[in-house]
Every structure is written in structure tokens, then in C-alpha cells.
């Protein structure tokens, strides 16, 4: 993103309603709940997609989701002027690693054939765990 556009976007983000910015965690939780419901509504399809798609057009499904999430998370962090991004402490490569870990954990509920109730409990714990870790990267690491 060109520097001028980035500055304009930061200004816009800074003038946005603080409540909206603070609701990112809730938005993420709601999105994960919706995805989990969708996965269980289409359990057989997701089982095939995750474990039997090698050699097909869909073999990189999880990686493509990770790439999308990393792109938009990095862009969001740039737009709000996240110090860990501007300082170079957190990179797109690092985000890729942690998002991959989260996504793979999320899809394990399908791979392990969990029922919906247990999966929701598991995914809530997984999300809480990752959210706590993710919040630590919003500030540069202190050595």
C-alpha cells in the first residue's frame, strides 16, 4: 500500500468509533462460531475436503484460507498503526505461522470426528488460547 494511502487509512481508522475497533475480538468469535456451525452442517463435505482432497483442485483449501486471513490481519494491523508491525517485530511470515496453527487446530474437530457440542467447547478453548497469545503481539516484544 502506498505511503499516502496508508496515512489516509490510518487517519480514517483513528477517527472510527472506538467501540467498533474494540469489537474485533467479538467479531472474530462470532465468525468462528458461524464457521463451526457451517462445518458441522456440512460435516461429510469438510471431512472429504480436509482429508481426501490431495491431488484435486481443493488440496490447498486450508492454506488458501490461511493466506486470506494473514493478508487481512496484516492489513488491519497496518491500518491501525500497530507498533509491532511498524517496528518490524511482527511480520507476515510470523502471522502465517500462528494463523496456520489456529486453522489446523480448528479443523481438527472434523478430523477427529467430534460431535458438535464437544467441538464448540474445544474451539472456544482454542480460540481463547490463541486470542490471548495474539494480544501479546499487538505490542513489540520486550527482551
* 51, part of any domain: no
* 63, part of any domain: yes
What distances in angstroms separate CA 16 from CA 50, 136, 141, one per listed residue?
A: 39, 23, 27
Phi and psi at residue 29, to the nearest 5°:
-60, -45
What pLDDT score was predicted for residue 75? 92
DSSP string, 31-55: HHHHHHHHHHHTHHHHHHHHHS-TT
Instruction: Provide the number of structural domains found in the chain.
Output: 1
Q: Which range marks the domain in which residue 6 is found?
A: 1-14+59-143
- Best CA proximity match to 108, nearest among 35, 50, 55, 52: 50
- For 20-58, what is each residue's pLDDT tens digit? 445 555 546 568 889 999 999 999 999 999 999 999 999
- Where residue 17 falls among pLDDT bands split at 50, 70, 90? very low
Does residue 100 sit in helix, strand or coil? Answer: helix
- For 53-104, what is each residue's pLDDT tens digit? 999 999 999 999 999 999 999 998 888 888 889 888 899 999 999 999 999 9
* 67, part of any domain: yes
* 125, part of any domain: yes
* 91, part of any domain: yes
Amino acid at each position: 500500500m502506498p505511503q499516502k494511502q496508508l496515512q489516509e487509512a490510518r487517519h480514517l481508522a483513528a477517527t472510527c468509533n472506538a467501540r467498533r475497533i474494540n469489537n474485533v475480538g467479538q467479531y472474530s468469535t462470532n465468525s468462528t462460531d458461524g464457521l463451526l456451525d457451517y462445518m458441522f452442517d456440512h460435516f461429510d463435505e469438510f471431512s472429504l475436503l480436509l482429508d481426501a482432497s490431495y491431488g484435486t483442485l481443493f488440496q490447498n483449501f486450508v492454506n488458501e484460507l490461511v493466506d486470506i486471513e494473514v493478508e487481512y490481519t496484516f492489513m488491519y494491523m497496518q491500518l491501525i498503526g500497530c507498533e509491532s508491525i511498524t517496528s518490524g517485530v511482527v511480520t507476515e511470515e510470523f502471522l502465517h505461522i500462528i494463523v496456520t496453527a489456529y486453522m489446523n487446530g480448528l479443523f481438527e474437530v472434523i478430523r477427529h470426528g467430534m460431535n458438535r457440542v464437544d467441538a464448540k467447547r474445544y474451539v472456544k478453548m482454542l480460540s481463547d488460547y490463541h486470542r490471548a497469545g495474539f494480544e501479546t503481539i499487538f505490542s513489540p516484544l520486550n527482551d
